[in-house]
Amino acid sequence: MARRKRRAGHSDLVVDEKKALHRIRLTINGEELELAFSPRRTLLEVLRDDLDLIGAKEGCDGGECGACTVLIEDRPYLACLTLAATLRGKRILTIEGLAGNGGLHPLQSAFLTKGAVQCGYCTPGLILSAKALLDRNVAPTEEEVKKALVGNLCRCTGYQKIIDAVLEAARLLQAESPGNR
Ligand code: FES
Ligand code: FES
């Protein structure tokens, strides 16, 4: 039987069984990559362990907390429940890819100015869920913000500051693109 070797940070990467590796091309934060991994690994494992993209957090590891939220084709998904092997050709955004050359995304700025970040563990997931909302609706109501963030738990701030931050980011985005109003 073929032996498996384990390396720190690559716990499931099969070295002796190269044929067992799943190879796909996909785009992460604007960069096209070819990756090889065991078919049973989750997107969260690949991001954090293989690519050192540790913005997506491992909270419950069971679909309950939203800390691992990333955007796949502009829609929020739980990376802990998403098999990486299903993502051939997909476009993925993690929090590391959000800030542009012009600096922080308005959501990142608003989370800071509105005091919506304490320990920060939930913040990447919340911001990406909020981005998916603002991408399709740049002027959401408070109720629409609450609904969009219902899958993202925060143990620190309470939710009002987070909601205020998303509404502030919406105002900033509208100011940047008045045609969106
Ligand atoms: S770590 Fe994925 S939902 Fe909690
Ligand atoms: S800021 Fe700590 S969990 Fe949300």
Distances (CA, A) of 122 to 10, 58, 75, 149: 25, 10, 18, 11
pLDDT band at residue 100 under the 50/70/90 scheme? confident
Cα atoms in the Cβ-side hemisphere of radius 13 Å centred on 151: 18
Burial classification of residue 40, based on how many CB atoms lie within 10 Å of its CB (0-12 exposed, 13-18 middle, 19 or more buried): exposed
Whether residue 110 sits in one domain with residue 82:
no
pLDDT of residue 4 exceeding 60: no
Asked, for residue 26, whether it belongs to a domain, the answer is yes
Distance, CA of 150 to CA of 132 (rounded, Å): 13
What is the distance in A from the centroid of ligand 1 to the CA of 52? 18
The answer to whether the CB of 80 is under 6 A from ligand 1 is yes
Q: Residues enclosing ligand 2, CB less than 6 A?
A: 117-123, 154-157
Which CATH number belongs to the domain containing residue 149 in this structure?
Answer: 1.10.150.120
Backbone angles phi, psi at 172, to 5 degrees: -60, -45
Length of the chain (residues): 181
Asked, for residue 77, whether it belongs to a domain, the answer is yes
Q: Per-residue pLDDT averaged across 166-175, rounded?
A: 97
Instruction: Name which of 150, 151, 159 is nearest 114 in CA terms.
Output: 159
pLDDT of residue 7 exceeding 50: no
Strand order in the sheet with 69-72: 31-37, 22-28, 91-93, 69-72, 75-78
Whether residue 90 sits in one domain with residue 23:
yes
pLDDT tens digits along 126-148: 999 999 999 999 999 999 999 99
What is the distance of C-alpha 10 from the center of its chain?
A: 20
Whether residue 69 sits in one domain with residue 49:
yes
pLDDT band at residue 10 under the 50/70/90 scheme? very low
Question: Which of 44, 70, 94 finishes a domain?
Answer: 94
The answer to which of 15-19, 55-59, 116-120 has the lowest mean pLDDT is 15-19
Range of the domain at 38: 18-94
pLDDT at 154 (0 to 100)? 97
pLDDT band at residue 102 under the 50/70/90 scheme? confident
pLDDT tens digits along 30-52: 999 999 999 999 999 999 999 99
Q: How is residue 12 written in tokens?
A: 């499931």
Which CATH number belongs to the domain containing residue 58 in this structure?
Answer: 3.10.20.30
Asked, for residue 3, whether it belongs to a domain, the answer is no
Asked, for residue 53, whether it belongs to a domain, the answer is yes
Distance, CA of 142 to CA of 71 (rounded, Å): 22
pLDDT at 18 (0 to 100)? 57
Q: For the chain, what percent of residues have pLDDT higher than 90?
A: 82
The model's pTM: 0.88
Whether residue 35 sits in one domain with residue 89:
yes
What is the distance in A from the centroid of ligand 1 to the CA of 170? 26
Q: For the chain, what percent of residues have pLDDT higher than 70?
A: 87
Number of domains in the chain: 2
Whether residue 82 sits in one domain with residue 119:
no
Give the mutation target among 69, 111, 127, 156 for probing the ligand 2 site: most ligand atoms within 8 A of CB.
156
Whether residue 84 sits in one domain with residue 113:
no
Whether residue 132 sits in one domain with residue 76:
no
Asked, for residue 8, whether it belongs to a domain, the answer is no
The answer to whether the CB of 68 is under 6 A from ligand 1 is yes
